[in-house]
């Protein structure tokens, strides 16, 4: 049962009805009258100006002596006296058809002037017409009043118009007004059909929309409309898109603004804008208010989170009061989005203000497939496209990343002269988004090409030698614009949500395989492993401080994650002495993994050389080619595993390369090592003498 008024569709903030801007006697009619009045006054002003210009071009002021001289010469045709001013029309006109005249101040009264004109007629024999006009006091008064009043009225109207414009633009005169943008369903153009990969979040918000459409079936059993819903999740997951979809489905006015719009340099402005926003919302109820990045004003008043800002606290207090004060039965729903929920004020998060917290997580495999389908529905795809494979390859990607990949693939197809996007375009688009385009103008020396080749093959070979390793999709030494001189692509056989201790240890070995290959082959190391070392250190530290995988520290939690939905940075919760011991434990773990990687590469040196030589020649090899050479060199017979025809999941980079994606840990993922030794066995092993190893690759 829809309890909204029958004329609801004629309402709205955009001039759709009595409460909007287009109803009878509404602001639009007032604006039309104002425009008409301004046009009339402007016409009068223009007419006056042109009249004065025309008059000044056909009239000239002369002295009284000059007038007397013209009388003596018989050059005067007529004289008119009005209010002490003489208007003289000469007998001969300079321009035919235009009456030119002179003016001067009368020095004599009308009787004396009449006598002088009669004398001049007798002297020259030319008749002179004389006319004296008596002044009308009423007309003079009206003219004086209008001459003063019209400019004054025009100035008032102009000031009023300027103030309105400044109010709309948030200028000095409008600092206390809300900057909320009002939308209606036709303008948002977004429904829940345009949102994919977030089924749980959609379900929570669809219930709210159904409440707005059919409040009767909920109120019958005593249910109330939730006052607010807080959308929480990483950047790019679609929080704003979900809010627009709610507005598009609910068919109600949608007020959208950012948390920073409340903040201004003037004290008290934020609170004033909050009051103005809720006043507008009450006029247009039922409606939805969406505040994006609410952490800008909703930050906790605790000094630990940057509290103590009086202006922001005043704005927050006003927001809390308004959220408590409005009646939920009026159908006002508040949506807010943030990716920093841990710093929000507890009073803002309690039920009764934000009754629901909707988590908008990174999409899983099925969600990524659906997101790709949504963004690809308007793109021409050929029969080779397999969106499931692309989704499997992009673990950790959010909706905005996937949309960008589809768009890049379409651009590549046009660039290559094709009318439809192929799977190859999608593969390349994934690489473009994650590591940048090929840097064709960067030419490596022969020695650097060898180093990069062995580095990347070291990553791939160590992964291939480990049990349950993810298949290698691609190895390349072609530099990319994001800094990578080469990289290895690996994809998971299935999406995983947990990692075992053995898998994390295998990740460390795989990450350090590139650096180990450099030392084994060249007896020296380069800066190419900087990113690998950084990621390996992060994993090792997390194993010790967060996952309880250290024998020394056991199950003790030594770190906590801050900004979970942003960078997920961990901070230690221990003393300096314990932090020093943690560093020693991390160094020990990394050293053991590095020695294991070197041992594996030394034992399979011929395979390493053979694959590296092939990579130097080809620059880029596929996973299938890599496995063929690997099996041939290792003498392995039987069915070769099919490498996944997908894009980047795990990436090892080279000199000074930046992280490939925000989910670096998942991208570098490798699996357990079947030949791992115990720490005691590793300590007993003799160190490998790399200096005796010579590369068969001739420069």
The CATH number of the domain holding residue 546 is 1.20.58.760
- Supply the pLDDT for residue 89: 83
Same domain membership, residue 457 and residue 406: no
Same domain membership, residue 556 and residue 490: yes
For the residues 579-606, what does the mean pLDDT come to? 94
State yes or no: pLDDT of 646 exceeds 50.
Answer: no
The CATH number of the domain holding residue 80 is 3.30.720.210
Tell me the Ramachandran region of residue 33: left when phi exceeds 0, alpha when psi lies from -120 to 50, beta otherwise.
alpha
What pLDDT digit, counting tens, does each position of 302-329 carry? 765 555 566 778 888 888 888 876 666 6
- Supply the pLDDT for residue 33: 67
State yes or no: pLDDT of 639 exceeds 60.
Answer: no
Same domain membership, residue 475 and residue 386: no
Query: Of residues 375 and 53, which shows the higher confidence score?
Result: 375
For the residues 349-375, what does the mean pLDDT come to? 89
Exposure of 450 by Cβ count < 10 A (0-12 exposed, 13-18 middle, 19+ buried)?
buried
Same domain membership, residue 539 and residue 581: yes
Question: How many residues belong to the chain?
Answer: 699
What pLDDT digit, counting tens, does each position of 122-180 carry? 888 788 888 877 776 676 677 677 777 777 777 787 777 777 665 554 444 444 455 55
State yes or no: pLDDT of 585 exceeds 70.
Answer: yes
Cα gap 438→423, rounded to integer Å: 18
Is residue 678 in some structural domain?
A: no
Give one DSSP letter per residue of 116-164, joined into a string: HHHHHHHHH----EEEEEPP-HHHHHHHHHHHHHHHHHHHHHHHHHHHH
Exposure of 551 by Cβ count < 10 A (0-12 exposed, 13-18 middle, 19+ buried)?
exposed
State yes or no: pLDDT of 268 exceeds 80.
Answer: no
Range of the domain at 457: 446-634
Burial 209-243 (b: 16+ CB within 10 A, else e): bebbbebeeeeeeeeebbbbbbbbbbebbbbbbbb
Alpha carbon 44 to its chain centroid, in Å, reads 49
Contact between 363 and 344 under an 8 Å Cβ cutoff? The reply is: no
- Supply the pLDDT for residue 31: 61
State yes or no: pLDDT of 26 exceeds 60.
Answer: no
Cis peptide before 286 (omega within 30 of 0): yes
* CB half-sphere exposure, 562, CA atoms < 13 A: 8
Report residue 442's pLDDT band, with 50, 70 and 90 as the boundaries: confident
What pLDDT digit, counting tens, does each position of 364-382 carry? 889 999 999 999 998 999 9
Helix (H) or strand (E) holding 52: helix 27-58
Same domain membership, residue 572 and residue 543: yes
Is residue 402 in some structural domain?
A: yes
Active site residue 456: yes
What pLDDT digit, counting tens, does each position of 391-429 carry? 888 888 899 999 999 999 999 999 989 999 999 999 889
Q: Which of 393, 409, 435 is the last residue of a domain?
A: 435
Q: By C-alpha distance, which of 529, 489, 525 is closest to 508? A: 529
For the residues 14-33, what does the mean pLDDT come to? 48
What pLDDT digit, counting tens, does each position of 281-295 carry? 888 878 888 998 888
Is residue 168 in some structural domain?
A: no
Same domain membership, residue 127 and residue 81: yes
- Supply the pLDDT for residue 96: 63
State yes or no: pLDDT of 451 exceeds 90.
Answer: yes
Cα gap 697→699, rounded to integer Å: 6
For the residues 241-260, what does the mean pLDDT come to? 84
Structural domains of the chain, count: 4
Is residue 61 in some structural domain?
A: yes
Same domain membership, residue 555 and residue 509: yes
Is residue 493 in some structural domain?
A: yes
Q: By C-alpha distance, which of 489, 395, 385, 507 is closest to 435? A: 489
- Supply the pLDDT for residue 588: 94
Exposure of 116 by Cβ count < 10 A (0-12 exposed, 13-18 middle, 19+ buried)?
middle
State yes or no: pLDDT of 676 exceeds 80.
Answer: no
Is residue 34 in some structural domain?
A: no
Same domain membership, residue 550 and residue 523: yes
Contact between 231 and 243 under an 8 Å Cβ cutoff? The reply is: yes
pTM of the model: 0.63
State yes or no: pLDDT of 593 exceeds 90.
Answer: yes
| Active-site residue, selected from the candidate residues 456, 585, 653, 668 | 456
Same domain membership, residue 452 and residue 410: no
Report residue 514's pLDDT band, with 50, 70 and 90 as the boundaries: very high
Work out the mean pLDDT of the chain and round it to a whole number: 77
Cα gap 244→667, rounded to integer Å: 32
């Amino acid at each position: 049962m829809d309890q909204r008024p029958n004329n609801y569709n004629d309402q709205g903030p955009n001039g759709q009805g009595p409460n909007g801007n287009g109803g009878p006697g509404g602001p639009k009619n007032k604006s039309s009258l104002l425009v008409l009045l301004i046009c009339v006054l402007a016409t009068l002003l223009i007419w006056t100006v042109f009249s004065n210009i025309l008059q000044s071009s056909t009239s000239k002021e002369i002295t009284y002596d000059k007038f007397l001289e013209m009388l003596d010469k018989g050059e005067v045709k007529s004289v008119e006296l009005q209010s002490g001013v003489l208007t003289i029309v000469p007998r001969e006109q300079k321009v035919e058809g235009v009456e030119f005249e002179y003016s001067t101040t009368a020095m004599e009264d009308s009787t004396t002037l009449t006598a002088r004109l009669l004398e001049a007629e007798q002297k020259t024999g030319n008749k002179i017409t004389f006319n004296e006009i008596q002044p009308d006091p009423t007309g003079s008064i009206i003219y004086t009043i209008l001459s003063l009043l019209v400019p004054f009225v025009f100035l008032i109207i102009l000031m009023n118009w300027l103030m309105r414009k400044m109010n709309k633009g948030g200028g000095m005169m409008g600092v206390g007004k809300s900057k909320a943008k009002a939308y209606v369903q036709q303008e948002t153009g977004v429904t829940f059909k345009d949102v994919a990969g977030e089924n749980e979040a959609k379900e929570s918000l669809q219930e709210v929309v159904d409440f707005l459409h059919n409040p009767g079936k909920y109120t019958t059993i005593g249910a109330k409309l939730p006052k607010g819903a807080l959308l929480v999740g990483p950047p790019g997951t679609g929080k704003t898109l979900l809010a627009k979809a709610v507005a598009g489905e609910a068919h109600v006015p949608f007020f959208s603004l950012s948390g920073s719009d409340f903040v201004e340099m003037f004290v008290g402005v934020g609170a004033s804008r909050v009051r103005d926003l809720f006043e507008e919302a009450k006029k247009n109820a039922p409606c939805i208010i969406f505040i994006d990045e609410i952490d800008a004003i909703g930050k906790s008043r605790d000094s630990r989170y940057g509290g103590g800002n009086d202006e922001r606290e005043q704005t927050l207090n006003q927001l809390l009061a308004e959220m408590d004060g409005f009646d939920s039965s009026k159908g006002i729903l508040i949506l807010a989005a943030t990716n920093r929920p841990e710093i929000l004020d507890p009073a803002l998060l309690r039920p009764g203000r934000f009754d629901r917290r909707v988590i908008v997580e990174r999409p899983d495999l099925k969600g990524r497939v659906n997101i790709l389908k949504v963004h690809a529905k308007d793109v021409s795809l050929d029969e080779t496209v397999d969106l499931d494979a692309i989704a499997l390859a992009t673990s950790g990607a959010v909706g905005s990343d996937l949309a960008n990949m589809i768009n890049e693939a379409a651009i590549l197809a046009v660039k290559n002269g094709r009318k439809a996007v192929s799977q190859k375009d999608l593969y390349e688009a994934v690489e473009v988004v994650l590591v940048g385009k090929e840097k064709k103008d960067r030419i490596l020396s022969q020695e650097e090409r060898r180093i990069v080749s062995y580095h990347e093959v070291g990553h791939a070979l160590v992964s291939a030698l480990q049990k349950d390793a993810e298949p290698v999709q691609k190895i390349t030494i072609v530099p990319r614009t994001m800094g990578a001189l080469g990289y290895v692509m690996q994809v998971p056989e299935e999406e995983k949500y947990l990692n075992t201790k053995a898998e994390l240890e295998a990740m460390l070995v795989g990450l350090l395989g590139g650096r180990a290959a450099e030392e084994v082959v060249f007896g020296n190391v380069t800066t190419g492993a900087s990113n690998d070392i950084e990621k390996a250190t992060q994993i090792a530290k997390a194993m010790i401080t967060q996952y309880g995988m250290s024998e020394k520290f056991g199950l003790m939690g030594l770190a906590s994650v801050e900004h979970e939905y942003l960078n997920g940075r961990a901070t230690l919760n221990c003393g300096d002495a314990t932090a020093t011991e943690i560093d020693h434990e991390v160094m020990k773990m990394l050293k053991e993994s590095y020695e294991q990687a070197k041992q594996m590469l030394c034992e399979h040196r011929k395979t390493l050389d053979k694959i590296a030589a092939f990579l130097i020649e080809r620059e880029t090899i596929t996973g299938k080619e890599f496995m063929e050479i690997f099996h041939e060199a290792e003498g392995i017979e039987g069915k070769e595993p099919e490498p996944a025809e997908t894009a980047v999941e795990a990436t090892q980079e080279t000199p000074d390369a930046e992280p490939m994606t925000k989910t670096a840990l998942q991208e570098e993922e490798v699996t357990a090592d079947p030949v791992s030794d115990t720490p005691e066995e590793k300590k007993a092993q003799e160190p490998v003498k790399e200096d005796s190893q010579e590369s068969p690759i001739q420069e």
